[in-house]
Chain A
Amino acid sequence: MKLAIIGAGAVGRSVVELAGEYGHEVVAVADSASAAVDPDGMDAAAVLERKATEGTVGDDDPADALAAEYDALVEATPTTLGDAEPGFSHVTAALERDRHAVLANKGPVAERFRELRALADDSEGDVRFEATVGGAIPAVSTVEDVEPGHVTAVRGVLNGTANFILTRMAAEGLDYEHVLAEAQDLGVAEADPSFDVEGTDAALKCVILSNVLSFGAADDPADAREFTLADADIEGIRDVPGSALQLAAEDGQTVRLIGEATGETVRVAPRLVPENGTLAVSGTQNIVQIETSHAGRLNISGRGAGGPETASAVLGDVGRLE
């Protein structure tokens, strides 16, 4: 497939780098200020080198990348909330041209799912978004395989930064501020960690899963309930004291930031889980637990973030479109 990759952050760059290995051609790459377009497919290494040294990917205008002759557009710009722009417009542009869109950006699927579905229904192109939930973990496609109507709930640990902090707090008996500073030094937490530690990121993923469950189970999409971030009940981990983890440990338990999506409710909160239980993954690991009507419980754990990990989910989606 010919790919246009919009967004040249860690995920976009990894998609550029790995596309060839998956048998795809990159015909356009854009960051916020520049673009490189080559209908015959470009030299990934050269584009990445230029991004690293000059900060731009090429001499073209970002709009040229959107207008390029691609089969699938990869939307890997940073997640924005509310109107989910400019990601939403990028995806719209692809679908209106009957091309596919593959998202790593959570905004459009978390905030404007119904509109996106309607655009896809009117298009020859399809929308896929595996990379928006749990990085490398095939959460969305597993729910689709089991069929949303036969999934009663999806829950799990969906934010590696928050999980790293809770794991360290419990293991070392340290307080939140101390562990956060350590996580920032290690590059596990961002300078402004709000999105991760306040539960917003995990909530977006659960909102997306709830949309998958709700729309997937409905006979008519018009009857499906649409979820947005505003529907999520969110508590973060910022105030959780070390003493709470200590008391949990004395009872053989620990605290994890757990997200739950049922297709009716979305909830993210620190919860007590058995210390050695399935959900108590360590460090930056994520886990997705899928409750099914006829097949019991499925657990998938793995890396929930990272450039190559998320790019692997993006390229998996591209493969499903072929």
Chain B
Amino acid sequence: MTGPDRSGTIDGDLSTDGGRSTTPSTHTVRLELNDEPGQLLAALEPIADNGGNLLSIYHERGNKTPRGRIPVEVDFEATEERFEGIVDALRAAGVNVMQAGTEEYAEDVTVVVFGHLIDTDLSDTLQRIEACASASVADVSLTAPKGTEEASSARLRLETRAGETETALAAVRSLADEKGLRVVEPLVGVDA
């Protein structure tokens, strides 16, 4: 006997009117961790604390990403609603979520912005990048060696959905233009 014929049917747990399933299902998140002690635990806590039932962890310690981070795949059970809370909690804890279920944050792009970052309201700049649908700001490092008066620099790590890196960079570029800042962009798609 072959498997059940699912053509034309909808899995019983999913309703057709956009409502949410209350039955836990299995989810996979792909994370990138810094190669430092305690990083894995820090990434697992938000899952457990927010109602996720850990199933398996695939920790590829020997297989680093080009930027020296370690990819980790975590499978857990959670309801749809809790799943979103878990992804938010992971991000809030500073964990780099590359892929969550079907939502891929596959691209991770770093830019350096320089100019009068503080005078031009850095937090507004970051909020407006966040507001751009295709990117979220995962990490910010600021250097203002000559105080707030002179030009300063910030390195921003953005997580973007698959295929939307160019859109996200365009948004950063136009925001920088508006505020008189300069952007040093990476060469996207070039593993130089």
Q: Which residues of A contact B (CB under 8 A)?
A: 155, 235, 239-244, 246-248, 250-253, 255, 258, 269-274, 277-280, 289
| B110 lies within 8 A of A255 (CB) | no
| B68 lies within 8 A of A252 (CB) | yes
| A279 lies within 8 A of B184 (CB) | no
Given contacts A155-B190, A243-B145, A255-B112, is CB(A274)–CB(B153) below 8 Å?
no
Q: In the assembly, what is the distance between CA of A280 and CA of B186, in Å? A: 13
Q: Does B44 contact A (CB under 8 A)?
A: no
Q: B residues 153-192 with Cβ under 8 Å of A?
A: 153-155, 182, 184-187, 190-192
Given contacts A250-B155, A277-B192, A279-B192, is CB(A271)–CB(B187) below 8 Å?
yes
Q: Does B111 contact A (CB under 8 A)?
A: yes
Q: In the assembly, what is the distance between CA of A280 and CA of B190, in Å? A: 13
Per-residue A-contact encoding for B128-155, CB less than 8 Å = 1, 0 else: 0000000000000101110000011111
Q: Does B114 contact A (CB under 8 A)?
A: yes
Q: Which residues of B contact A (CB under 8 A)?
A: 66-68, 110-112, 114-115, 141, 143-145, 151-155, 182, 184-187, 190-192
Name, among A241, A274, A277, the residue most crowded by chain B CB atoms within 10 Å (CB to CB): A241
| B155 lies within 8 A of A251 (CB) | yes
Report B-chain residues with C-beta under 8 Å of the C-beta of A239: 114-115, 151, 182
**Besides A251-B110, A253-B186, A271-B186, 15 other A-B contacts (C-beta < 8 A):** A155-B187, A239-B114, A242-B145, A244-B114, A246-B143, A246-B153, A251-B155, A252-B67, A269-B184, A271-B185, A272-B110, A273-B192, A274-B192, A277-B191, A278-B192
Report A-chain residues with C-beta under 8 Å of the C-beta of B155: 247-248, 250-251
Q: In the assembly, what is the distance between CA of A160 and CA of B141, in Å? A: 30
Name, among A252, A272, A273, the residue most crowded by chain B CB atoms within 10 Å (CB to CB): A272
Given contacts A271-B184, A273-B186, A279-B187, is CB(A247)–CB(B112) below 8 Å?
yes
- In terms of DSSP, what is the predominant structure of the interface of chain B? strand
Report B-chain residues with C-beta under 8 Å of the C-beta of A280: 192
Chosen A-B contacts, 30 in total, with CB atoms closer than 8 Å, are A235-B182, A239-B114, A239-B115, A239-B182, A243-B114, A243-B143, A243-B145, A243-B151, A243-B152, A244-B112, A244-B153, A244-B184, A246-B143, A247-B154, A250-B141, A250-B155, A251-B67, A251-B110, A253-B110, A253-B186, A255-B112, A269-B184, A269-B185, A270-B184, A271-B184, A271-B185, A271-B187, A272-B184, A272-B187, A289-B192
Name, among B141, B145, B151, B155, the residue most crowded by chain A CB atoms within 10 Å (CB to CB): B155
Q: In the assembly, what is the distance between CA of A108 and CA of B173, in Å? A: 33
| B185 lies within 8 A of A241 (CB) | no
What are the 8 closest A-B residue pairs judged by CB atoms, nearest first? A277-B192, A247-B155, A243-B153, A243-B143, A244-B153, A279-B192, A272-B186, A244-B114
| A247 lies within 8 A of B153 (CB) | yes
Report A-chain residues with C-beta under 8 Å of the C-beta of B110: 251, 253, 272
Q: In the assembly, what is the distance between CA of A252 and CA of B192, in Å? A: 13
Given contacts A241-B151, A247-B153, A248-B155, is CB(A255)–CB(B114) below 8 Å?
no
Report A-chain residues with C-beta under 8 Å of the C-beta of B151: 239, 241, 243
| B141 lies within 8 A of A247 (CB) | yes
Q: In the assembly, what is the distance between CA of A191 and CA of B121, in Å? A: 37
